Chains A and B, each alone.
Chain A
Amino acid sequence: MSKFKDTTLKSKLIRRVHRRIVLAGLLKASTVALLGWNIRKLQIEDSEDYKLLADANRVNLRLIPPSRGLIFDRLGTPIALNEQNYKIVFIREQAADPRKVLKKLASIIELDQKRQEKILQDMKKRSPFIPITVAENLTWKDFAHISVNLPSLPGIIPEVGLTRHYQEYESYAHIVGYVGPISDKDLKSEKPVDPVLQIPKFQIGKVGVEKKLETHLRGRAGVSKVEVNASGRVMRELNRTQGKSGENIHLTIATNLQKFASERLKGMSASSVLIDIKSGDILSLVSTPSYNPNNFVLGISQSDWNALLNDERKPLLNKATSGAYPPGSTFKMVVAAAALELGLIGLNDKIFCAGFYELGSRNFHCWLKGGHGKLTLQEAIQKSCDVYFYELARKVGVKRIGDMARRLGLGQAYNLPLTGLSKGFVPTKKWKKERFGTSWLVGDTLNVGIGQGFSLATPLQLAVMTARLASGKEVTPNIIKNSNKNPDNPKALSIKENTLVAIRKGMFDVLNEKDGTAFNFRTTNHNFLIAGKTGTSQVRRITREEREEGVIKNEDLPWKMRDHALFTCFAPFKNPKYALSVVVEHGGSGSKVAAPIARDIMLFQLYGGIPPVTAYPEKQQVEARKRLMDIEKKINSRTNINPNI
């Protein structure tokens, strides 16, 4: 009985399934009919309208590219601007014989045979009504000459376009970056696609602020609706929607300082960052050697590109934010701050330096072979004693050193519109285990204590660290003017005032006490006293044999093997306004190489111009005068005006 019921149920269901399949088929058929009906309406009923639209489409919606936002420095001096670019385009279908027209054109402007062939080939690839660029960046004279001859040049249309141009390019290249023609790759990563990007060779930001603030700078395209006849000739403009030009950007950079700093660093592979301590504004951020971003605007040649790429001093790299270096002795402030905060050492406690520190069978050396004797913390900073900081680092431990480093701004990337920001590096025990599979050793902690070993910092981070030590506040850098929401009120670091005072005093002594490592590079103007810290970071290992025979001098080593020279400072000591860091790659010792550069740049900022020689100790005044005059002359003679105008 139940079996019978089951079978009837089954056959009932089968019938239902069949019914539904047929029903679904009918639904599909009606959908297709609906689609077909719509296609009929589009393609037959309204076809004439659409055909007209399609014809009109040839130039129907003409995009008017927006003019790109300008970039200014903090005083409103333009850094990146748009210049008129006189060019001529050619529309094939308006010429009976394009070859003849080109030949005629070649008699007016320079247009070699190869270029002519290329243009003719380009034309064949595209539709007859697409304008092909024949020549760009024409002089006004050529442009006018062509305009006069237009009646005999059918199809040739003179146009005025806008091209990016960078003033003060060498000192700003790493900040502002450059624009270049959009590539297919760029287009793919854009979503949703801004129609203006489909204009061939439309220029977009590729590096730096130009790239990071692209959407602000670009603006919105305008549209002009034009009526055209069958041959594509524009009859009249129907209407025009104005686009929106891109926003202008104001940087925090002070151009005079920027130029001075980059001139001062010229010839070296170096970088410097100067921050306004109160607001966090980056007043100058220089990396040398630099390059000319204007070369990129219309597309750089392969050989120029290779030259930039293969230069061992890496001109394309922004060393101030992308270069991560062992911080060397400049890191000692971090260790000192951590120890003082934890109460692991008192201000008057002394540690004895015999020139080396014994750890098991291994000796960790101080830079001063004979040793410093007994030192307080302040003296240890002043003389940059390594042994003192080995001992201190061991007491504090790597974890708490790392915590303090991060608090002072190391090991993190700031939210700046620059490309290739490095985070630097603050090592941890866990990291070493994961990276090398070996445990953290006490020796590693000692190395970290003097800024060698695994830790890395960028010049920007060193400047921020110094600014934070000098102010006791959580200074964060910014490079766009007024981008800081509450500039006058950064959060306090919650580091004890006593700790900060002791470290600042130590830094003061570095330049202003007889045995300070940068005593030679003090300033004599008592209102502008500088406090700082030298750093020399080793890039090679010194073997025991070498140490016994005497460490090889930097000058005797190949460039790549020499130490990095670092210096970080703030001024004026009594009322800190500016923090500055200077790193010279493979420059040698921080006290000899980086400190004098830092003094020049800092004094320039404090005086608001080329500092008077009286700011220098008497014995150095002759040399300083010569150096400063030299720089002044170079700054004044350098004219960065576009040769095309």
Chain B
Amino acid sequence: MNPFIKIIYINWPLQILILATALFGFLMLYSVSGGSWDPWTKPQINRFFISFILIFVMSAISISFWQKISPFCYILGLALLIAVYFYGDTGMGAKRWLDLRIIKLQPSEAFKISMVMALAYYYHKLPVNKVSHPFYVLVPLLLIIIPALIVFRQPDLGTALVIIMIGIFVMFIAGVHFGYFLFGGLSFCTLLFILFQSRGTDWQLLKDYHFRRIDTFLDPSVDPLGAGYHITQSKIALGSGGLFGRGYMQGSQSQLNFLPEKHTDFIFTTLAEEFGFFGTIGLLIIYSLIVAFCIFSALATTDKFSRLLITGLCMTFFTYFSINIAMVMGLLPVVGIPLPLVSYGGSSMIVIMLSFGLIQSAHVHKNVGF
């Protein structure tokens, strides 16, 4: 089929929803920079439209191609993770960034995609009767745990947990026997218990600041000027938005620098303060629709790779926004996960757009089968 004709078959509603979310983002960035295109709005717009075109290009490429390169993507992703461990820039007390001259990459973000691809590939190739065989459960588990440990050592606890969550999720969708998940869930709770027992001993498993974050998460009033400050201020911003918000560029919390990271991880609070309940629910609905269209798309595909790929990537997207929103509301600890397509930042933007490129490719080729 002519690649230009293929574009007609992409999931248009999804594409339009992506555009709508990004527009929300531009609007908010313009506001937090005090009504200016610099320093955030302009680069964000450029980045978005370049990667928006990328989605079309990617969707025109056959899904079988993406399937073939999946194992290599995984190896590359893992290599980058190791590279960042040794050569990464240290930002905010953690090695997360790899400076590739042109772009500063956060490999742990990109890794999420390649892991989903590899897992989808794995289950696509695995004979049906072996899906729940203990050995064939162990293999993907290692594919998930090893990189997660590397990310955890960076140290980036939040992303490590997200990687595990997404990986396990793909395994779940792939149809692995339910007993494994029950067993895994129980052992996770035990691990959590041990983690807290380790506090203060010399074999302490988490950095002190992680524990402190959890403390203030449980009770932000402990330290109203330190770590709890962020959550308190962010809740005030959210709550004060009310039903209709304080008006565009009128939010005192966000305009006054009470909010930390207001252009990246905490941008949802600005939205909430300036557009109120309608704004936040509006964005939440758009996000949910994106997820819903992905699920429909997954159910409509005929091959296992596409199905797992779409659900896995859709889950990645879902974890981004749900964790971010839960975080700014104080429902989860502050872990540094951006609001997808809205927060300022190149790395997460590109990763998200790449995953939509793959989803669209799977959608376009849903009837090909192989």
Taking beta carbons and an 8 Å cutoff, which residues of A are in contact with B? 6, 9-10, 13, 16-18, 20-22, 24-25, 28-29, 31-32, 35-36, 38-40, 42-44, 46-47, 49-51, 53-55, 57-58, 61, 63, 125, 127, 130, 191-193, 195, 198, 221, 223
Task: Contacts A9-B129, A47-B240, A192-B209 known; list 9 others, CB within 8 Å.
Answer: A18-B299, A21-B311, A22-B299, A35-B284, A39-B325, A43-B243, A43-B280, A192-B226, A195-B225
- Is B100 in contact with chain A by the CB < 8 A criterion? no
CB <8 Å contact, B240 and A51 = yes
CB <8 Å contact, B329 and A44 = no
A20 to B174 Cα, complex, angstroms = 8
Chain A residues with CB under 8 A of B298? 21
CB <8 Å contact, B238 and A42 = yes
A17 with B173, Cβ < 8 A, contacts A39-B280, A39-B281 known: yes
Can you sample 23 A-B contacts with CB below 8 Å? A6-B128, A17-B304, A28-B288, A32-B287, A35-B322, A35-B325, A39-B280, A39-B329, A42-B329, A43-B241, A44-B277, A47-B241, A50-B238, A53-B240, A54-B236, A54-B240, A54-B252, A57-B233, A57-B252, A125-B34, A195-B229, A221-B225, A223-B224
Chain B residues with CB under 8 A of A51? 239-240, 242
Quote the shortest CB–CB distance from B268 to chain A (angstroms).
10
A36 to B272 Cα, complex, angstroms = 12
CB <8 Å contact, A54 and B253 = yes
Name the CB-closest residue of A to B325.
A35
Chain A residues with CB under 8 A of B174? 17
- Is B192 in contact with chain A by the CB < 8 A criterion? no
CB <8 Å contact, A42 and B239 = yes
A284 to B240 Cα, complex, angstroms = 59
Chain A residues with CB under 8 A of B255? 127
A38 to B258 Cα, complex, angstroms = 22
Chain A residues with CB under 8 A of B209? 192
CB <8 Å contact, B175 and A127 = no
- Is B93 in contact with chain A by the CB < 8 A criterion? yes
Q: Residue A57 contacts which of B238, B258, B299, B326 (CB distance < 8 angstroms)? A: B258
Chain B residues with CB under 8 A of A9? 128-129
> Chain B, 137-171, contact with A by CB distance < 8 Å: what is the 0/1 string?
00000000000000000000000000000000100
A21 to B227 Cα, complex, angstroms = 38
Chain A residues with CB under 8 A of B307? 17, 21
- Is B92 in contact with chain A by the CB < 8 A criterion? yes
Chain A residues with CB under 8 A of B284? 32, 35-36, 39
Q: Residue A38 contacts which of B226, B299, B331 (CB distance < 8 angstroms)? A: B331
Chain A residues with CB under 8 A of B34? 125
Quote the shortest CB–CB distance from A222 to chain B (angstroms).
10
A24 with B315, Cβ < 8 A, contacts A17-B174, A46-B239, A54-B240 known: yes
CB <8 Å contact, A191 and B93 = yes
CB <8 Å contact, B173 and A24 = yes
Quote the shortest CB–CB distance from B232 to chain A (angstroms).
9
Taking beta carbons and an 8 Å cutoff, which residues of B are in contact with A? 34, 92-93, 128-129, 131, 169, 172-175, 209, 224-227, 229, 233, 235-243, 252-253, 255-258, 260, 272-273, 276-277, 280-281, 284, 287-288, 291-292, 295, 298-299, 304, 307, 311, 315, 318, 322, 325-326, 329, 331
Quick one: which of A46, A47, A198 has the most chain B CB within 10 A? A47
A406 to B128 Cα, complex, angstroms = 68
A43 with B129, Cβ < 8 A, contacts A20-B175, A24-B311, A195-B226 known: no
Chain A residues with CB under 8 A of B291? 25, 28
Chain A residues with CB under 8 A of B241? 43, 47
Quote the shortest CB–CB distance from B327 to chain A (angstroms).
11
Quote the shortest CB–CB distance from B278 to chain A (angstroms).
9
Chain B residues with CB under 8 A of A28? 288, 291, 318, 322
A50 with B252, Cβ < 8 A, contacts A21-B173, A35-B322 known: no
Q: What is the predominant secondary structure among interface residues of chain B facing chain A?
A: helix
Quote the shortest CB–CB distance from A520 to chain B (angstroms).
55
A61 with B257, Cβ < 8 A, contacts A21-B295, A54-B236 known: no
Name the CB-closest residue of A to B94.
A191
CB <8 Å contact, A39 and B238 = yes
CB <8 Å contact, B280 and A50 = no
Quote the shortest CB–CB distance from B206 to chain A (angstroms).
15
A43 with B276, Cβ < 8 A, contacts A32-B284, A54-B252 known: yes
A42 with B131, Cβ < 8 A, contacts A36-B284, A50-B240, A54-B240 known: no
Q: What is the predominant secondary structure among interface residues of chain A facing chain B?
A: helix
Quote the shortest CB–CB distance from B333 to chain A (angstroms).
14
A198 to B304 Cα, complex, angstroms = 52
A528 to B273 Cα, complex, angstroms = 76
CB <8 Å contact, A44 and B242 = yes
Chain B residues with CB under 8 A of A20? 172-173, 175
A39 with B225, Cβ < 8 A, contacts A21-B298, A54-B240, A127-B255 known: no
> Which 9 pairs across A and B sit closest by C-beta, in order of nearness?
A50-B239, A54-B240, A47-B242, A43-B277, A50-B240, A16-B175, A51-B240, A191-B93, A42-B239
A55 to B291 Cα, complex, angstroms = 37
CB <8 Å contact, B252 and A38 = no
Chain A residues with CB under 8 A of B252? 54-55, 57-58, 127
CB <8 Å contact, A32 and B128 = no
CB <8 Å contact, A39 and B277 = yes
Chain A residues with CB under 8 A of B243? 43-44, 47
A229 to B298 Cα, complex, angstroms = 55
Chain B residues with CB under 8 A of A25? 291-292, 295
Quote the shortest CB–CB distance from A21 to chain B (angstroms).
6
A151 to B55 Cα, complex, angstroms = 64
Chain B residues with CB under 8 A of A61? 224-225
Chain B residues with CB under 8 A of A43? 238-239, 241-243, 272, 276-277, 280
Quote the shortest CB–CB distance from A158 to chain B (angstroms).
23
A127 to B34 Cα, complex, angstroms = 10
Chain A residues with CB under 8 A of B227? 192
Quote the shortest CB–CB distance from B20 to chain A (angstroms).
17
A50 to B252 Cα, complex, angstroms = 12
Quote the shortest CB–CB distance from A187 to chain B (angstroms).
11
A198 to B262 Cα, complex, angstroms = 14
A25 to B310 Cα, complex, angstroms = 13
A57 to B236 Cα, complex, angstroms = 9
Quote the shortest CB–CB distance from A29 to chain B (angstroms).
7
A32 to B285 Cα, complex, angstroms = 9
Name the CB-closest residue of A to B311.
A21
Quote the shortest CB–CB distance from A122 to chain B (angstroms).
13
Quote the shortest CB–CB distance from A244 to chain B (angstroms).
12
Name the CB-closest residue of A to B302.
A14
Quick one: which of B239, B253, B281, B295 has the most chain A CB within 10 A? B239
Quote the shortest CB–CB distance from B271 to chain A (angstroms).
11
A13 with B236, Cβ < 8 A, contacts A29-B288, A39-B329 known: no
A130 to B258 Cα, complex, angstroms = 12
CB <8 Å contact, B256 and A127 = yes
CB <8 Å contact, B175 and A17 = yes
Quote the shortest CB–CB distance from A115 to chain B (angstroms).
23
Q: Residue B239 contacts which of A10, A49, A127, A193 (CB distance < 8 angstroms)? A: A49
Chain B residues with CB under 8 A of A49? 239
Quote the shortest CB–CB distance from B305 to chain A (angstroms).
12
CB <8 Å contact, B175 and A47 = no
Chain A residues with CB under 8 A of B173? 17, 20-21, 24
CB <8 Å contact, B329 and A50 = no
A38 to B169 Cα, complex, angstroms = 25
Quote the shortest CB–CB distance from A224 to chain B (angstroms).
12
Q: Residue A42 contacts which of B172, B224, B235, B315 (CB distance < 8 angstroms)? A: B235
Chain B residues with CB under 8 A of A63? 225
CB <8 Å contact, B329 and A38 = yes
Name the CB-closest residue of B to A193.
B260
CB <8 Å contact, B175 and A223 = no
Chain B residues with CB under 8 A of A55? 252
A47 to B277 Cα, complex, angstroms = 10
A193 to B281 Cα, complex, angstroms = 32
CB <8 Å contact, B172 and A24 = yes
